Structure 1
Amino acid sequence: MSALTLSDTSTWLPLDGLAPGFDANKAEPTADLTGRTVALVDERGTRIVHRFGADSVEWEYQPGDGDPIAASSGIDPYEAFEVDTGLYFAQFHHQHKPDEAVSLVIDLTNGRALSIIQAIGDQFPGNTAVRQLFVPSLIEGVETGGAEPAPTTALIGRRVMWVYSSEHAYEHVYLSPQWYSWQCLAGPEKGLADTDENSVWEIRPGIYVFTWREKVIPCASVTIADHRNVRAIRSHGVLFGLDESGTVPTHFTFGAYGRLLSNTVHPDPYDPAVPAPTAGAHAQDAGADTAR
């Protein structure tokens, strides 16, 4: 790809064009969930039962009060990855509804879970082609411990390099609660860069769910990464969106090895993690700075 085409988004690689070889650093899926039933209950009383087999998960969805989603059930192929002791990341793409995919973060040690539903279209609020819904819940029959999964600003200011294979490498710069920038360092997209929407949730201390929603290519991603050793970060992820034709849903898992390259610490008045002051307060602060 020549430098002349880098800003021409019509030449950017479609999601299905990225897949070959991109998953070389994917972890070996785990069979730890095989034979286990995991029932999740959220604050609305919505209950989802998952019965994990060797290769497929059978699920039943019973909505609680105020949940507009109708009761349903199904069976889908899945993959699961062990993130930490008792912590799993499971992925499945609905066969009955191919424009929807599910990522489950299951903490069997602390009895907590986070479901991330990705949907193509306008099922959820947002402006991107693929949108995401986050639902924390408790696991029935497991004693609750630790902190509830929650949005976090802990990654803001970090610049991390991610290596997905011997040929694919990217860097991420986490800018704010809403935005991050990426640049391809190696691979078929080398030289491409953009800024897209992101969401970050803390699952355990130092372990984060990081998701993004692209505006150029109709796709989104859910990843979970262990940042406790910033020289040897490990992530597991899934990409979901539309193929080159713009009509066929594409879903594949991957993994990466990461390393912290730098960390920017903003002075308090300019910290992107801090909500913007009101117009009046900003004017007062500016005046005070001028007076000094």
Structure 2
Amino acid sequence: MTSADIENTETWLPLDGLEPGFSANRAPHSRDLDGRKITVRLEDGTAIRHEFGPDTVDWAIGEENGSDEYEAFEVDSGLYFVQFLHRHDPRQAVSLVLDLTGGHALAVLGVIGEPERRPTVVSQRFDVGTIEGCTVTGAAPAPTAELLGRRMLWQYSPTHRYEHVYLTEHWYTFHCLSGPEQGLADTDACTYYRIRPGIFVFAWREKVVPCAAVTIADHRNFGPGGARSHGALFGLHEDGKQIVHFTFGAYGRLLSTTVYPDTVGD
């Protein structure tokens, strides 16, 4: 890709063009939730009921209900990351963090707006809750600044390698080191939540490509390939009409940490 192509965002790879091969380091789908009925009660009192099968989840919120295919990933002991796309409205995707040990939950609803929507086509809503029937212990999921200043290398496949620089509570920068987007870089809006010590949800919303992502990453091991993340990308096909939704995983390592001095000079 030439420098002119890189600077012309109209030539950037669409989301469906990124998908082939991007999921090579995805973890296997966990069936630990099969047969479980889990009700998440959000802070506003809303109850979301889930009944998990091997590959589908039946859910209900008040009078609204549905059945969707899902993928679940075991992040840590008793901690699961669940992804599903609503059949009744495929412009909505759910990312669900279930901490069956601590009794906490975090639900992220991604919604695709019109292709002309700004600042980002895909919006995200974050709701914290508890799991009924579980003894609630420890801190609830909450926004965090713990990742700020870190520069991470994430490898999604043998060829897809990206660095992330976590700049502020609202912005991060990505840079593709190798793969079909090699050389591309941008700064996008993002959100961070602390789930457990050393385990974080990191979500971003891209302004050039109409897509957003939700990931959960274990940062407790910073050796080569020691960090582990699971995630899903959600957005529009190149034609601006079809929905693209796929899961992925990555291995990561810490490259550096920036600590800003209080003053410059003396």
**Partner in structure 2 of residue 225 of structure 1:** 217
Output one character per residue of 1:136-155: Cα deviation in whole Å (capped at 9) or x when no partner.
Answer: 00000000001000000001
- Tell me which amino acid in the other structure corresponds to 1:30: S
Q: Is 1:252 matched up with 2:246?
A: yes
CA displacement at 1:268 relative to structure 2: 4.2
Output one character per residue of 1:19-47: Cα deviation in whole Å (capped at 9) or x when no partner.
Answer: 00000000011110000011000121100
- Tell me which amino acid in the other structure corresponds to 1:178: H
- Tell me which amino acid in the other structure corresponds to 1:54: P
How many residues are treated as equivalent by the alignment? 262
CA displacement at 1:206 relative to structure 2: 0.4
* 8 Å contact kept, 2:104–2:129: yes
CA displacement at 1:3 relative to structure 2: 2.5
Q: Percent identity?
A: 57
Output one character per residue of 1:135-179: Cα deviation in whole Å (capped at 9) or x when no partner.
Answer: 000000000001000000001000000000001000000000000
CA distance in 2, matches of 1:233, 1:186: 19
- Tell me which amino acid in the other structure corresponds to 1:161: L
Q: Secondary structure at the match of 1:5?
A: helix
**Partner in structure 1 of residue 204 of structure 2:** 212
Q: Is 1:169 matched up with 2:161?
A: yes
* 8 Å contact kept, 2:96–2:107: yes
- Tell me which amino acid in the other structure corresponds to 1:225: A
CA distance in 2, matches of 1:127, 1:185: 26
- Tell me which amino acid in the other structure corresponds to 2:16: D
**Partner in structure 1 of residue 51 of structure 2:** 51
Residue segments in structure 1 that go unaligned for 5+ positions in a row: 63-70, 271-288
CA distance in 1, matches of 2:263, 2:38: 45
CA distance in 2, matches of 1:23, 1:151: 27
Q: Which runs of 4+ in 1 moved over 6 A?
A: none
* 8 Å contact kept, 2:43–2:127: no
CA displacement at 1:248 relative to structure 2: 0.9
Q: Is 1:238 matched up with 2:237?
A: no
Output one character per residue of 1:206-262: Cα deviation in whole Å (capped at 9) or x when no partner.
Answer: 000000000000000000000011221000000000000011111000000000000
**Partner in structure 1 of residue 138 of structure 2:** 146
Name the structure where strand makes up a greater proportion of residues: 2
- Tell me which amino acid in the other structure corresponds to 2:72: A
Name the structure where helix makes up a greater proportion of residues: 1
Q: Secondary structure at the match of 1:6?
A: helix
Q: Which has the larger radius of gyration?
A: 1
Residue segments in structure 2 that go unaligned for 5+ positions in a row: none
**Partner in structure 1 of residue 183 of structure 2:** 191
CA displacement at 1:121 relative to structure 2: 1.2
CA distance in 2, matches of 1:126, 1:209: 24
CA distance in 2, matches of 1:224, 1:106: 11
Which residue among 62, 72, 89 is the counterpart of 1:97? 89
CA displacement at 1:127 relative to structure 2: 2.6
- Tell me which amino acid in the other structure corresponds to 2:2: S
CA distance in 2, matches of 1:116, 1:196: 18
* 8 Å contact kept, 2:50–2:58: yes
**Partner in structure 2 of residue 284 of structure 1:** none
CA displacement at 1:78 relative to structure 2: 0.2
CA distance in 1, matches of 2:152, 2:251: 10
